[in-house]
Structures are given as C-alpha cells and as structure tokens.
Amino acid sequence: MSMWEKLAAIPREIVLTIVLIAMIVPAIRPFGLPIMVGKMSKDWYNTVDSLPEGSIVLFDIGFGSGGYPTLGPCAIAALHQMFEKHLKIVIMATALEGSMMYPLIMEKVKPEKNYGAEYGRDYVFLGYIAGEQTAMAAVLGDIHTAVKEDYYGTSIEQIPLLQEITGPESFALVAYLTTSGGIAEGWVYQAYSRYKLPVVGGFLSMMTPSLKPYYDAGALKGILDGIKGAADMEYMTHHPGDAMRATDILSATQTIVLIFIIIGNISYWGSRLSKREGEK
Amino acid sequence: MGILTSGRIVAFIAFILAWIATYLGIELGKRGKVRIRRLPALDAMEEAVGRAVEMGRPVFDIIGMGTFTDIYATQTVAGLSVLNYVAHLCARLGAKLYAPQASVDVMPVAIEMVREGYLAEGKIEELNVDEQLPYLSGTQFAWASGILGMASRLKPASVIMVGPFWAESMMFAETFDRLGALEIGGTARLYQIPFFAAVCDYVLIGEETFAAGAYLSGDPLQTGSIACQDWYKIAAIILGVIGAILATAGLPWVSQLMSI
Amino acid sequence: MVSTDVGVWIAAFFTIVATSYAFRDNIFFRFAEYTFIGAAAGHAIVMGVKNVILYGWTHIAGGEPSYWIPIILGILIYTRYHPKYYWIYRYPIAFLVGIGVGISIRGAIHADFIKQIAATAKPLIATTPLGTLNNIIVFVGTVTALTHFIFTYEGIHKGAAGWIPKIGRWMMLAAFGGAFGNTIMTRFSMYQGRIIFLLRDWLGIIH
Amino acid sequence: MSEVVRKYIPLLITFIVGVIAVLDFYTTVPAIRGTFTVLKNWGIVVTAFALGVGAVNLFRVHGKRIAERGELWPLSGWLLFMLIVFVVVGLSTGKFDASWQYKWIYNAIMLPLGATMYSSLCFYMAIGAYKALRIRNIDSLFLFLTAIFVVLGNTPMFPAALPGFFYTREWIFKTIISGAYRGIRIGVGIGAVVLGIRTILGLERGYLGRA
C-alpha cells in the first residue's frame, strides 16, 4: 500500500474519534468568537421588530426531538424577541412531537417571570394538531370552528386572546420552525398564497437552499437558517444560549471536516499521478 | 369577476390549463406521440449489472421507503419502473438481484415487477422472492440499518437507488461507497439530491427520475405527464426571458400580470 | 457534579448508544432502535386519541352531530386488515387523499410556478455592476436549469443549443455543492446539542 | 355493482373533496368556503385516527416474530412493551402529553433517541465528505468548489478572521443556489400539480391498494 493509498483509507473509527474530540474540547473550553449576522436572520428580526405592540403572531412548532438541538434555540430566541416586543402569540404544533417541545422551550423563555406576560391573555398554546397542511388551513381559516380547547383542556371561549381572533386577517404574522419540507412549504401555500399573510420560517440549514426561492420571491419575509440563524437571533436579542456556545464547536468540527476533505483530495490526486508516473 | 379571488386569477387560469394539458399530454402519450430522450444513467445500469456479473457479486436495487399515499408517489412509481428494467437486465445477464422493501403497500407491486422481468427473460426458476425481496421495516432507522446490514453481508458490486429518499440517503451512499460498489442514484426529493450527486457514480437529478421511469415503462400516463410538464417549463422559460427583457427595459408587465 | 437524576442517566445512556452505530453495529444500538420505534408508535397513539377527542368529540358534545362522520371514517381506516372487507378503508383514504392533494396543489401552482416566474421576470440591470452580475447569474441559473429538465424535445440537448442545458447542469451541481456543505453544518449542529447535554446535564463538566 | 362501491365511489370522493379544496382557494363563494371549513376540521379527525396504523403494523410484524421465535425476538417483545408503556402513561392520567409523568418518560427516552438518531448522521457526513468530495472530473469540480466555500463561510472561525468568507457564502446562496434551485423548484412544483390533477381525476389509483 503506497503512502497515498494509506492517506485515502484512514479507518472510519479514527476519523470519527477525531471528530468527537473536536466537539468535546471547545464545548469545555470555548474560544468566544464573534458572530456575523446574516441577512436572512436580520430580515426575520426586522419583520418582527416592525410589528406594532399587541399584534397577534401565529407561531408553529413544527419539529420534534430530532430538530430540537438546532430549532429549540431558534424558538427560544425568537420568542424572547416577541415577548419583549409585547406581541401576543398563538402557539401551535404541526409536528407530532411538537407539543413535547413546548414545555422545554418555555422553561427557558419564562414569559411570566421575564416579561410579565400572562397565559391566555398574551399567549396561548393549542397543542399538536394533526394533518399538517389541513391543520394549518383549518386554524387560519376559522380557528373557532377548528379548535375547541387549548393544550391544557381550557375551553377556548374562556381564553381572551383567542376571542380577539376573528379570521385570518387577525394574524399580523405567521412564524414557523420546522424540520419537515412539507410543513415548510405548507405554511407558504396556506398562509402566504391563501391569505397573503406575512410569513417567516426557520428550518434546518440543509433545507435552506431548496426553500430560499420563496424568500427571493417575497413569500418568506425572513429565514432562520438552522443553528446559524439561532446564534444570530441570540446575538440580536441579547439572550446568549446554546446556539452561541455551539458556534465555537462548529468552528472546530467544520475545520476538521475541511482538513479531511483536503486529505481526501491530496491522496486521490497523489495516487492518480503516481500511477500515471508508473505507467510511463 | 367577484366570485374569483383577486391576486389569484392568473394562477387559476394556469391551473385550469394544467388540467387540460394533463389530458392532452396523456392522450398524446396513448397515441405514442411522446418521445422522451434517453438518459446516460440508464446506459449505466447495463454497465452496473455487467460489472456485478464479472465480479460474481449481487446487484442491489433500492426504491426507497415511499408509499402510494404520500406526495412522493410518482417517485415510487418511477423507482418501480426502474426496478422492472433492472430485473430484466439481471435475469438476462445472470446477476443476483436484491431489492429490500420498506412499504407494505408497495411491496406486492415490486414483487410483480421483478417477477415479470424474470419471467420475460425465461429465468423465473432463478428467482427467490422471500430471499431477494425481503421486507425490512417501514421505520426510517430500522430500514436504514437493515439495508446497511444486508450490504455489509452481501457486498454488492453495484447499487441502483431510484425513488424517494430521506436522511438515510447519506448513510446508503457512504456505506456502498466504502464497499466499493458502483452507485447509481436518483431522487426528486430536493433535500437529498446533493448527496447522490456528490457520492454516486451516476445520478438522476430531480425530474430526470420521472423521465427515466416514463422512458423505461412507456406508460402513456407517465410519458404524457412528462410532455405536459415540459410545456409548462417551456412556458416558464419564455415568460421569464421575455419578462426579464421587458423589465430591464422598464416595463415590468410580466411580473404585474403574474399578480393579477 | 454528575447528575443524580435517573432520567438524565437513561437519556445519557440512549444518547451514547445511538451514537455507537456510526462506529460499528452492535446489540446495544438494536436495543435503542427498538425502544425508539416502540416509543414513537406509542406517542403517535396518544396524540391520535387526544386529537380525536379535542377536534372530534368536543364538537359532538357541543351539539354538532356531523362530526360523527369523520369519527366513523377514521374507524374505517382499520378495515384494511380485514381479509374480506379491506376495501372499505378506501373511503377514508380517498377522503384524506382528496383533501391532501387539493390543499397542496392549489398552493403549489401559485407559490412554485406563478410567483417564481414573477421573481424571474425582474430587471437584470441593477444599480451596481456586482448587482447586475448577480441578477444575471440567478436568471441564467433558473433558465438553464429549466432547459435541462426538458425531456421531450431532443433538439435542445444537441449541437450548439446543447450548451444551454449543460450550463444548467453545472449550475445545479454547484448549487448541490453548496447544499452539501450546508448539510454538513446542519448535522453537526444537531449533534452538538447532544454533546452539550452529556457534558452539562449529565457529567456537569460545563455550566 | 361491487365495482361501483369498491372503486368508483372512493374515486368520486377524492374528486369532490379535491375540487372543493381547489375552488376554496380560487373563488369567494361562501357556500364553498363554508363547506371546506367543515371538511378541513373533519380532515384533522380522520388524520388523527390514521396515527394508530403504524402501531397496528408493529403488532402484526413483531407479534409474528415473537410467536415464531424469529431473529431478535426478545427485542420485539421489548418494542411492544415500550409502545404499551407510552400509551398507558399517556392515556391513564387524562391529561395526555401534558402530565408530568408523560413528560418524564418522553424526556428520558424519546427525546435523547430522536435527537441522537438524526444527529449522528453527522458522522456519516464527515466520512462522506472525506471519501466522496473529491475532484474527479469537471462535474465534481463545480460541486467541490461551492461546497468548500460554503463550509468555510459556515465555520464561524474563518469569517471572524476574514469577513470575505462570510460574504462569499452569502453570495453563493444569493446567486448560484437561488438561480438553480428556482429552476428545480418550478419543475418540481409543476410535477406535483400534474400528479395532483391525475389523482383528483382518478387516473392515479395506487392509493386504493390491491385491486
């Protein structure tokens, strides 16, 4: 086996162990790198920022445990901004595990303690609603015929915030965070195409390329691009959290990946050129 | 015009036209008037099966974990057409085919596709459905780890993956690459195309998957739909080009028209 | 301080075991996998029952008997397991497919076709040279990628015209590269959350 | 007769419901909108029933495996036990997912598994990047170049040192990805619409299952 071939065939266990170490070290000892805010997150922030106090926002938790590590920080930072602005928030979940994400998020946001918000008056949680796009269309179209109780089993007649909603036009903004392409496209179809409501969306970074055409066409007013978007939001809202901590870990792991890509290419071209030499 | 929603009138007209065009396309397809160009990845399939024969190792054909009820049904249908073609090739050239299954609904059709291929080549006695088309699981990670287990046990020489794929695409592509298999990948799930494009030796990008399926099956429903979609793409190109030229000249007519 | 919470220990165990598969297949991973499948199916049932009560039963209790219809349709889904009357399940499925397909295609033609054409038909010249270049790249990318997907007119892929879809293919491959790079970050940023959990909530090394 | 009941009425249901959904979007007729509001609410209930289908399949597959003492059958038993635990804890309190007991088992079992299963794909990405992201020909050169620049821009360290990396990534997204993906999205969108029309018209019948 030539040197080139050895370089091309580093055992996977070794590669993975190096990657793991690259995650653990900066988690224990962060470098504290600065953040550069991207335009897509800035647009999300400004869209929310420009809403008048007391506007009603429909906020969808469209992710479960799989998406929590990246979209959880997005949700926490985004809700901080909304509560800070004294917006009223109707929260729902289109993902099956979304209702289990809600307590995890609210534990960190603490709207009562931090912002003096009151459940039922300033925000409400409807829980998981089955049917994805069917659920979106139903909640936007006529929330009173679709929903009878909130997550805790309180009749919606007794929830003052929901009494303020008379139709889709009551919502000043639809904001969603999801790991599912169907949900991400669904909100564009149902809220933007159907009711011309302003929509902002957050998703895994890997989904951003395919959903960016909506942002370019004006259907999405802003995008939170995975953990990067979450870190931007934490930075803009001055609520540093897991995403900003993740920034340093990301630096280390991505650098390791880059090094491996370079090793892969050097070994590939090295063995290819040395083979050609041998043939001569 | 009070009964039509404003801002969506052009969309509505486009929708009605799509309705008519679908009919027309299928009608043309039935009359054999639709010709679809052959894609290089299809020629590669013959190479892939030939390679397996030479190496004395099996061929894997994975159609993904889609069902007929989800919105990716067309991709599953395309994957089934490819499976049928691969079954023909394997039977004719004498390679052993494995096509593990993930969907209870799709599995009987897949079996039918493979059986038809072997039957047409006169090799039906060589087919063992239970061994070659096992049901693994409909749950993503159980399905993925099932495939990975089969792969490391059987060491396929070539693998053909055409259909809807989710996050498991990278696990498959990486594992088969490690085993030194020739990989042909194809999916129209936008999020997963990059992995196949990066790792596979041949790739069917997005709609090429449908075209490949239609080409191989010759089914007028599929070929006709491809024709109809082509008309719409051509319309999009023409409107886009004219619109951009006009807009550059200061006349944003097309984008105004689109918001009627 | 290492956690004293049993739940955190169980979670840590499952986190480590689920990771182990990337290194090598092992029986602990199988155990975790089977646990996950069972738990996920159980969770789906709990949410299903809750939704049936919340969105169906409360309507009936509130004096809307028409909501018996979806409840009956829902129950009929399970006839698919009957050897003779399996075909009855087609009724609820037909209903779900109708509503699902209708609701998605009506928006698709607006958001994916009309709106995207409108976004393409924008002025190419911008106020800055770089802006103009950017507009041209987006425009060329859109149009050439579209031509790549034309299958029934072979002429477009031959001769001098053949360059147009070829450029489209390269543009798409470049775009896929970007998407690939971005996905690397996505998966890592997801896993980091688990590393933070292990180090903070379980081992108490960081705060 | 049986053909009608078994095949044509379901196809008719799909057609009617699908057409109402489409008309609800394009027209302002109150009767259509009212009907569709009811249909949407029904849809939520029927979908909720469908959530149990997965569990029934698991009972069939794993029940059989336990009865036949098939491969890993004790794990099949454990799988069904976990399923039952979640259902019992979820339904016995009367508060479903809002009870603390349910939150506890969810946070201890399902959350770490769900979060780790998906995220451990990062290891496959790392290996894949090392083994596959190689410049083999002109096609892979294009893929390679943008991938490298996006990774560079995504790594917070590099833009912090040299902001150009950050703007290069933003530029790649703004131009190359926007353009190519818009083309792909138009095509895929039309494909979905044509499939939808075929389904509503009853030409696509795969969902009806075995004949």
Across the interface, whether the CB atoms of A212 and D170 are under 8 A apart is answered: no
pLDDT at position B1: 47
Would you tell me how many other CB atoms lie within 10 Å of the CB of residue B155? 14
Angle of CA points D189, D192, D193, to nearest 5°: 90
Is residue A196 less than 8 Å (CB to CB) from chain B? Answer: yes
Quote the CA–CA distance of C100 and A135 in Å, as a whole number: 11
Residues D147 and D181 both lie in one domain: yes
Centroid of chain to Cα D138: 34
Which parts of B108-254 are beta strand (E)?
158-162, 182-187, 202-205
Q: Which of D40, D48, D154 lies at the smallest CB-CB distance from A138?
A: D40
Residue of chain A minimizing CA distance to C100: A134
Between positions 208 and 227 of A, the ones with CB within 8 A of D are 208-210, 212-213, 216
pLDDT digits 0-9 by tens, A134-151: 999 999 999 998 988 899
- Which residues lie below 8 Å from residue C34, measured CB to CB, with a gap of 6+? D72, D75, D76, D78, D79, D82
Given a cut of 90, whether residue A18 has pLDDT beyond it is yes
Neighbours of chain B (3+ CB pairs under 8 A): A, C, D
Across the interface, whether the CB atoms of A219 and C192 are under 8 A apart is answered: no
Q: Which of A12, A193, A210 lies at the smallest CB-CB distance from B190?
A: A210
Given a cut of 50, whether residue B24 has pLDDT beyond it is yes
Given a cut of 50, whether residue B120 has pLDDT beyond it is yes
Across the interface, whether the CB atoms of B18 and D197 are under 8 A apart is answered: yes
Residue of chain C minimizing CA distance to A189: C107
pLDDT digits 0-9 by tens, B188-213: 898 899 999 999 999 999 889 989 98
pLDDT digits 0-9 by tens, C176-187: 999 999 999 999
Residues of A in contact with B190 (CB under 8 A): 181, 209-210
Given a cut of 50, whether residue C77 has pLDDT beyond it is yes
Residues of B in contact with D28 (CB under 8 A): 2-5
Which of C35, C89, C114 should we substitute to test contact with B (largest number of B Cβ atoms within 10 Å)? Answer: C114
The total number of structural domains in chain D stands at 3
On whether the CB atoms of residues A223 and A200 are closer than 8 A, the answer is: yes
Between positions 127 and 146 of B, the ones with CB within 8 A of D are 137-139, 141
Question: Two tokens at A220?
Answer: 């999405």
Given a cut of 90, whether residue B123 has pLDDT beyond it is yes
Q: Is residue D88 part of a domain?
A: yes
Residues D176 and D147 both lie in one domain: yes
DSSP assignment of chain A: --HHHHHHT--HHHHHHHHHHHHHHHHHS---------HHHHHHHHHHHTSPTT-EEEEEEE--TTTHHHHHHHHHHHHHHHHHTT-EEEEEE-STTHHHHHHHHHHHH-HHHHH---BTTTEEEEEE-TTTHHHHHHHHH-HHHH-SB-TTS-BGGG-HHHHT--SGGGEEEEEEEES-HHHHHHHIIIIIIHH---EEEEE-GGGHHHHHHHHHTTS-SEEEEHHHHHHHHHHHTT---HHHHHHHHHHHHHHHHHHHHHHHHHHHHHHHHHHHHHH-
Count of CB contacts below 8 A, C vs D? Answer: 414
Structural domain boundaries, residue D110 = 58-119
Given a cut of 70, whether residue A168 has pLDDT beyond it is yes
Across the interface, whether the CB atoms of B188 and D28 are under 8 A apart is answered: no
pLDDT at position B137: 83
Residue ranges for chain D with pLDDT beneath 70: 1, 209-211
Q: What is the average pLDDT across B57-67?
A: 95
Across the interface, whether the CB atoms of D154 and C182 are under 8 A apart is answered: yes
CA distances from B169 to A19, A127, B85, D120 (A): 21, 32, 22, 14
Neighbours of chain C (3+ CB pairs under 8 A): A, B, D
Across the interface, whether the CB atoms of D46 and C101 are under 8 A apart is answered: no
Residues D164 and D148 both lie in one domain: yes
Across the interface, whether the CB atoms of A182 and B7 are under 8 A apart is answered: no
What percentage of chain A reaches a pLDDT higher than 90?
A: 80
Quote the CA–CA distance of A212 and A208 in Å, as a whole number: 6
Question: Two tokens at C84?
Answer: 């003779």
Across the interface, whether the CB atoms of C193 and A68 are under 8 A apart is answered: yes
Pairing of strands B97-98, B158-162: unpaired
Q: Which of D41, D173, D175 lies at the smallest CB-CB distance from C55?
A: D41
Q: Which of D63, D68, D66, D101 is nearest to D85 (CA)?
A: D101
Q: Assign 3-state DSSP to chain C and report helix, strand, coil percentages, each to 5.
A: 85, 0, 15
Count of CB contacts below 8 A, B vs C? Answer: 139
Residues of A in contact with B259 (CB under 8 A): none
pLDDT at position D209: 62
Residues of B in contact with A181 (CB under 8 A): 189-191
Q: Is residue D203 part of a domain?
A: no
Residues D138 and D192 both lie in one domain: yes
Residue of chain B minimizing CA distance to A193: B8
State the average pLDDT for chain A: 93
Backbone dihedral region for residue C65 (phi beyond 0: left; psi -120 to 50: alpha; all else: beta): alpha
Residues D185 and D141 both lie in one domain: yes
Q: Which of A193, D125, D31, D188 is nearest to B169 (CA)?
A: D125
Residues of D in contact with C96 (CB under 8 A): 43, 46-47, 50
Q: Is residue D143 part of a domain?
A: yes
pLDDT digits 0-9 by tens, C79-102: 988 888 888 989 998 999 899 889
SS3 D71: coil
Which of A42, A96, A257 should we substitute to test contact with D (largest number of D Cβ atoms within 10 Å)? Answer: A257
Q: Is residue D126 part of a domain?
A: no
pLDDT at position D204: 78
Q: Which of D103, D157, D185 lies at the smallest CB-CB distance from A251?
A: D157
State the average pLDDT for chain C: 92
Residues of D in contact with C106 (CB under 8 A): 21-22, 24-26
Q: Is residue D206 part of a domain?
A: no
Quote the CA–CA distance of A201 and A181 in Å, as a whole number: 11
On whether the CB atoms of residues C194 and C18 are closer than 8 A, the answer is: no
Across the interface, whether the CB atoms of D40 and A69 are under 8 A apart is answered: no
Residue of chain C minimizing CA distance to D182: C142
Residues of B in contact with A196 (CB under 8 A): 7
Residue of chain D minimizing CA distance to A227: D154
Across the interface, whether the CB atoms of B190 and A196 are under 8 A apart is answered: no
pLDDT at position B157: 97
Q: Is residue D12 part of a domain?
A: yes
Q: What is the average pLDDT across A65-88?
A: 96
Backbone dihedral region for residue C2 (phi beyond 0: left; psi -120 to 50: alpha; all else: beta): beta
Residues of C in contact with D109 (CB under 8 A): 10-11, 14, 35, 39
Residues of B in contact with D125 (CB under 8 A): 170
Residues of C in contact with A194 (CB under 8 A): 107
SS3 C4: coil
Neighbours of chain A (3+ CB pairs under 8 A): B, C, D
On whether the CB atoms of residues B78 and B110 are closer than 8 A, the answer is: no
Quote the CA–CA distance of A3 and A214 in Å, as a whole number: 48
- Please say whether the dihedral angle defined by the alpha carbons of residues D61, D63, D67 and D72, taken in this order, is positive or negative: positive
- Please say whether the dihedral angle defined by the alpha carbons of residues B217, B221, B224 and B229, taken in this order, is positive or negative: negative
Residue of chain D minimizing CA distance to B173: D128
- Please say whether the dihedral angle defined by the alpha carbons of residues D173, D177, D179 and D182, taken in this order, is positive or negative: negative
Q: Is residue D188 part of a domain?
A: yes
What b/e readout covers A244-265, taking b as 16+ CB neighbours within 10 angstroms?
bbbbbbbbbbbbbbbebbeebb
Angle of CA points C74, C79, C83, to nearest 5°: 170
Q: Which of C113, C119, C146 lies at the smallest CB-CB distance from B237?
A: C146
Q: Is residue D204 part of a domain?
A: no
Quote the CA–CA distance of D76 and D64 in Å, as a whole number: 9
Residues of D in contact with B74 (CB under 8 A): 191, 195
On whether the CB atoms of residues B181 and B58 are closer than 8 A, the answer is: no
Residues D45 and D90 both lie in one domain: no
Residue of chain C minimizing CA distance to B203: C173
Residues D30 and D47 both lie in one domain: yes
